[in-house]
Amino acid sequence: MKNGGYYLGLNDHFDLALTGDIYSKGSWRGNAYSNYAWKYRFNGNMSLNYSNTKVSRPEFPDYSLEKSFFIRWNHSQDAKSHPGTSFTANVNAGSATFYQYNLTNATNFLTNTFTSSIAWSKAWTGKPINLSVSLSHSQNNQTRDINLSLPSATFNLARRTPFKRQLAIGEQKWYEKIGVGLTTSFINSISTKDTLLFKKESLEQFRYGIQHSVPISTSFTVAKYFTVSPGITYNEKWYLKTIQKEWDSETNSIDVDTVDGFKAARDFAFSTNINTRIYGMLQFKKGKIAAFRHVMTPTLGFSWRPDFSEKQYGYYKEVQSDSLGTIQKYSVFEGAIFGGPGAGKSSLMNFSLDNNFEMKVRQKNDTAETFKKVKLLESLALSSSYNFAADSLRLAPISISGRATIVDRISLNLFGVFDPYVINNDGVRINKTEWSENNKLARFNSGNFSINFSILPRKKPLKSTQGTADELNEINKNQDDYLDYSIPFSLNIGYNFFFLNNVGAPDQITQTLNFSGDLQLTPAWKVNYNSGYDFEQKDFSYTSLGINRNLHCWEMSLNWVPFGFQQNYFFQINVKSSLLQDLKLTKKDDRFDNR
């Protein structure tokens, strides 16, 4: 018996539905669902689920008893109730196996990560400050990892320009653009396994701290075409605990102790960026192609940060790390929620170049000649960096990415990483370039390529006696913005290929194909489908097939998952009218029928 229970209309603001499932072999599930609303104030809904699922029989080796729960809560506040203040909630939390053993829909079954957020914020009218407080949660149903932030709070002071004149006369001075802001954050969080969350040893693993960040920045133009954006960032982190490491000669290991007491970590960094745009145009007076345009966006940046592991700062200490007497440095803020100041001096130059290619095509009609813009390559970008302060391996790996859209139906994306340095047989980068050793600029390290496209029949101009001629013309010009139920079929295909070059080990390759769509067999018959294939696992992903038949005042539907953990089918004939929704014939077979 499924979804049996009782409905209560409690008052004008609340209702409550208590339902449950009972299975002949002992499995059961209980659910409480409530909607609530206060006009001009807020509205929302909440559901609580608990299930006790028995798989197989106690005398069989595959028998198991799964107890699981799941909570959903959605809340929104009317913006007019408290101007400047908002409160929202979107909670999705529970046992990792709940949707594995409780059949609801494909989306919940295929979702590996659930997230939650409860947030309150306030902005003071006429003042450049705002405050937000939130509780957040995320869980991975595959790894069973769970992250909680209880709570986190952020105070912001909007960017101010203290040197700007109240009454500006003439051009703005460069120092008037200097802006200062402030962000203060507090976080109390924990990362653990869901099975250990409510145990005492996990509750002692909460990490908390306060961070203040003061960015100072400005922007000005040099030689008309170059934009320069220098800035300084000062950070200060407050903690009530640090760590102390000592070498234990008896166990030949390092003991880590927690030291209570207030400790502040301070760091700062300087950065500047220069960017511009370069336009190139190639025009043709005759022919179908009117012009080619190439836009280049180069960016050059520099950042500097001192070595905060030096003794004068007091953030790093030394400890013996092995029986040979080897000494290593460690940060007293190791494992802290915001971390500590970085070790090693950084004098980094980063550079990137983005390219855009477009074409203009002539189109002739009875009245005049028009032009259509065609995107050839939306982005082709290259980026890397060079650390002048490093004693070796100064040049970072080179990243190349590209993005293109073809005829509004096909999208291409590619990404690649190339390493300019040689790696040894253990897969470790050494300070020898590929150019000096192998006469090539860089070694291909990893890459990803994906293509997604959809096939739809060409839409014909619509004809109608409804509305005005201008309205019909507007619809025909923007048919992609409207749903057309007369389209006989649709097909969406996505292909993804990932490659990782592992030296000394087999290369890692991931190759998947996903497809979905629908097919209108006749005006009364429609089929929809969703599936995919993993070429490395040599197996199909979650697959479903749906068939719908229009029977005038009635309708018939069949949903079928032919294989997999959620193998099932659901067949139903019912009256279309919502007033007669209980007039239906249902036939099904799913994993619940074996409980």
Q: Where are the alpha helices (DSSP H) in 12-105?
A: 98-101
d(CA 531, CA 515) in angstroms, rounded, equals 6
What pLDDT score does 364 carry?
A: 75
394 CB burial (10 A radius; 0-12, 13-18, 19+): middle
What pLDDT score does 268 carry?
A: 94
Q: Phi/psi at 285 (nearest 5 deg)? A: -75, -25
Tokens of 356: 């855009």
- Per DSSP, the residues of 376-436 read EEEEEEEEEEEETT-SS--BPPEEEEEEEEETTTEEEEEEEEEESEEE-TTS-EEEEEHHH
Tokens of 270: 């300087």
- Mean pLDDT of successive 10-residue segments in the chain (595 residues)? 88 92 86 92 92 82 82 90 89 80 64 86 90 90 83 92 82 86 93 76 82 93 90 94 90 89 94 94 86 94 93 90 87 91 91 93 74 87 93 92 85 93 84 89 92 76 71 69 63 91 81 89 86 88 88 88 82 84 82 58
- Per DSSP, the residues of 489-531 read EEEEEEEEEEEE--TTSPPEEEEEEEEEEEEE-SSSEEEEEEE
What pLDDT score does 307 carry?
A: 92
Outline where DSSP puts E strands in 276-409.
278-283, 289-305, 316-320, 327-331, 346-364, 369-387, 398-406
Q: Say what the pTM is.
A: 0.73
What pLDDT score does 569 carry?
A: 85
What pLDDT score does 482 carry?
A: 55
What pLDDT score does 483 carry?
A: 46
What pLDDT score does 593 carry?
A: 62
What pLDDT score does 562 carry?
A: 87
Amino acid identity, position 214: V
Amino acid identity, position 493: I
